[in-house]
Structure formats: structure tokens, C-alpha cells
Amino acid sequence: MTQNAQSASERQFAAAADPDGVFIRQMDALLARASTAPRARRDWRAQPLRPLLLGYTGKGNVGADIRVREMVRQMQTVFGHAGFDPRIVVMGKVPLDPVLDALAKTPFDGYFPDFIAPRLAGLDGVIACEGSMFTSKFSDILSATFAGAIGLSARQGRLAVAYGAESGRMSERLQAFVARACDRGLIVARSRTTHDQLRALGVPSRLGADTAWTFDPGDDALAGARDTLRAQGWDGRKPLAVVCPMNPFCWPIRVDFAKARELAEAGLHADLHYDGVLFHTTSEAADAAFAGYLDTLAATIAHLRATGRFPVLVAMEKLDGRTCARLNAIVREPLPAFVSGEWPAASIVALLHNASLVVTSRFHAAVLSLNAGVTTIGIALDERIRNLFTENGLRDWFFACDDARLTDALIGAVDASAGADLRAACDGLVARQIQAMGSMGLRLHDEVVRVFPDFPPSPLPRQWRAFLPPLSARLQRVLDEADARAAGERAA
């Protein structure tokens, strides 16, 4: 979204008292004008499946990039018999993982209602890749971007998929738009709560999983993380505790052209700037809540040190580096801080996998720690961590970011973690999520065949394991042990 409007639609957006409402109305108009072009029979051997992957890629968000990476690996397995040649929308300039960097890229370089239709021309549709897809927590505009792209592609007779999506609280107008735009295609939810919420709106949701569960950083990254930690003062013996903070109280982001001009002309509001003409919200109450959150994490870090742990900070998104700096300014002794965008995603995840304990406000730090059997304490700002923990038997291991007793709760959970062995629970959770991911790969295959009846069906056996990406030996062992437990339970 640019500051200097060029097209008529962007000028209308820039002049609006209610830019979010204008954006949604423009997306509605785009859907109303869409029409299905006649489709000629095609030789799929000569021209492989070519969807547009629309997510938050390239902005320095570890979870966003990792989940798309694993989608691509899975889809290369699912559609390998016919070929898979996606185009990936790149939202920023942070270097991509090699799997994503090998794809053809489409830089996001315009106003979305003008941007999306031309980018779909010649492609087979949209696969929306963002996790926090349907929520007003961050911005109605961001959610309407993904829902609108799905609706446009469906109305053009193309593939229209939301893959591993989460929903949350929505404004009435966003809720109505999602119901209109996503009334066809394939919407795969990564939580039961999301599945039920979308179904209640009339959106045809199917239950699946987040795709980051299959990620493994590899032995080289794990060893490299240990070397890096030693260079930062870790003795290799103390239990490693990773804290992944963010600012839970600066949302939603809002369009503010005045701030954008003042930023460009005088460098003002840099601490609130999100991207383009979008700025984080602020208030005295939000600032006080954030200060309390930082004080709680500082007290937790002091307790981690006092109980013999070696704590470090990890910024799972580039903008979380600001929060790490704020936190390091108030702790007794600054902690090593590893910021996404400065470190490759695999290196960031390797830090989590080397930990004995992770305390996180970031959803994907929880996923990428639990998938290695690491005891994880969540600090929830919205539905994502709450859904993950409550739906998977970990209800006692997360707390709301605005809980009045958060400091005592976190310190109590840190103490409880010393005697807890959650590896069996984590392994069961990982096995269930990976099975769900395999099943949604099969469902995606069937959706492609439905939309393109002449698409050659996969020769893979129609069972969930066949539709997974290649797994590491560690994750394969987790699945095999889950199978053995299930077989033993059936025999008993």
C-alpha cells in the first residue's frame, strides 16, 4: 500500500475518512466484476500447476516464512507427478529460505485492489498462506486482502484455497465480507475453534493443521546454534531458556496518511510505523499495559537466572527486535538477542530446539518448540496460542497477556516446568498435527481435480502419509512411535 496514490481507487482510498470500509467496498466491487473465462483443455505435462502463493513472505517473520516453505515442500510432493511451478508474492526484502528463494517471485508493489487481478492472469488461482487470516486483531484490511483474493479467484473459476488458516474476533463488516468472499473454494482451518467459527458464518471450512509442524532445522543448524550460544557466554551445561517477546498491545494497525507524511518529511512516528501508510495504535492504557508486560518478562528472566538457566531473547519477527531492545533496557544484565532478519529462519528455530524451556507470545515459536518436545509456556494475546494449547491438552501452560497475575503465573509455570516431562504429550500432539497436514494435502489434491477436471490425478496411494513432504528422521520416528502406541492400545 503506497503513500502516493496513483490510480482512481487508491485516490479514493487515500481521501476516505474510513479507509478500511473503502477497501472492503472496492474488493466487493472487484468480486462483482469477476467472470469465469472459458477454459480450454490443456496439456498438464507441458504446463504444470501454477498457483499464486499469497502470504506474509519476506517481511522477516519466521513463522510466516517457515509455514510457506513447508507448504511448498508438501505441494511438490502432492503435485510432483504433474509439476508444480508457483509464483510467490514477496511482501518485503528480508532474504528468503532457499526453498522459497528458488520460486518465481512477484513483488508486492501496489495497491491491492489494483494489484491482484493482473497477477492472477495466466495463473491457476490463489493459495492464501497466511496463518492469522480472518481476524480484526491486526487489521480489517489485511484480512480483507486474503479473503478478497480467495473470492476473486473462485469467481474466475480458478483454484481458491486458504491453507492452514486461523480466524478470530472480526468486526461486523469484516465478518460479512469473509462470509461473502469465501463462500466457495477450499478453506482449511488449523484449529477446531476456527473450523467451527467459519462454519457458523456459512464458510465451507475443513479441519487441518498449521504446516510449520513438519519443519526441522537440521543437524548443521542445531550445531551452529550451539556454537553461537557459546560465543554469547553459554557454558553448554546450563539449561537454555528462550524468551520470545512482542508488543501485544499495539494492535490493530491503522491507515494514517498524516503520520506517513510526517514520517517521510521529519522522521516522526518511526516507533509506530508498521509498513507503508500503516501504523500501530497507541494510547496511555496500551503503553501502560506494555510496560507491565515488559516488567513481567523482566521478573521472569530474573527468576530464570536465579534458578540456574541461561536465558536469551529471540525476536520471531523483525519488528519484535524493538521489544527485545526495550526489555534489555530494564533487565539487570542485557541478554543475547537474536532477531529475525538478522539471522536465517533455520538458525532461529535451531535456538528453540536447543532450549529446555521456551516462553513465548509468538504462535510459531510455540509450534516450532513443541514439535521438538520442548516445554513451552504461551503468553496469549489472541485466539491463536489459546486455541493451540486448549485444543491439545496443554491448558495449564498458557496465560493471557493481560492477566493481572501474569508475573506469578509465569514464575509458577517456570518452576513447574523443572519437574514436568511433556515430551510424550508433545510427541502425541506433533503426530496428530502431521497426520492432519497429510490429510489436508490429499484434500488439496482433490480440490485441484475438482476445479480442473482434466488435471491428472496423483498416482500416490490415497492415505495421509503419502501426501506429506519428506520428513526428518526425528519426525519420522515421532510418527512411528505414535503408530506403535496406537497399535498397542488397539491390541489391549
Confidence of residue 8 (pLDDT cuts 50, 70, 90): very high
Q: Per residue in 350-366, pLDDT tens?
A: 999 999 999 999 999 99
User: What would the mean pLDDT of 399-403 be, rounded to a whole number?
Assistant: 97
Mean residue pLDDT of the chain comes to 95
Confidence of residue 42 (pLDDT cuts 50, 70, 90): confident
CA 468, CA 451: separation in Å to the nearest integer? 22
- With a cut of 50, say whether residue 382 has pLDDT above it: yes
Confidence of residue 240 (pLDDT cuts 50, 70, 90): very high
User: What would the mean pLDDT of 244-269 be, rounded to a whole number?
Assistant: 94
Q: Which residues contact 211 (CB under 8 A, 6 or more apart)?
A: 67, 68, 70, 71, 74, 163, 164, 437
pLDDT at 447: 98
> Cis link prior to 461 (omega < 30° from 0)?
no
CATH number of 219-420: 3.40.50.2000
pLDDT at 45: 79
- With a cut of 60, say whether residue 1 has pLDDT above it: no
Q: Per residue in 433-466, pLDDT tens?
A: 999 999 999 999 999 999 999 999 999 999 999 9
pLDDT at 3: 44
CATH of 14-37+44-214, one of 3.30.70, 3.40.50, 1.10.287, 1.10.10: 3.40.50
What is the grid cell recorded at 32?
Answer: 462483482
pLDDT at 4: 47
| Neighbour order of strands in the sheet with 253-255 | 253-255, 278-280, 273-275
Least confident of 85-89, 271-275, 302-306: 271-275
pLDDT at 46: 82
User: What would the mean pLDDT of 377-381 be, rounded to a whole number?
Assistant: 97
Does residue 487 or residue 241 have the better pLDDT? 241
pLDDT at 404: 95
- With a cut of 50, say whether residue 2 has pLDDT above it: no
**CATH 3.40.50.2000 residue window(s) in the chain:** 219-420
Element (H, E) at 28: helix 19-33
Least confident of 97-106, 196-205, 270-279, 454-463: 270-279
Task: Give the alpha-carbon dihedral of 104, 110, 114, 115, to 10 degrees.
Answer: 10
User: What would the mean pLDDT of 111-117 be, rounded to a whole number?
Assistant: 96
pLDDT at 419: 81
- With a cut of 50, say whether residue 372 has pLDDT above it: yes
- With a cut of 70, say whether residue 333 has pLDDT above it: yes
- Sequential DSSP letters for 250-310: S-SEEE-HHHHHHHHHH-TTGGGEEETTEEE---HHHHHHHHHHHHHHHHHHHHHHHTT-E
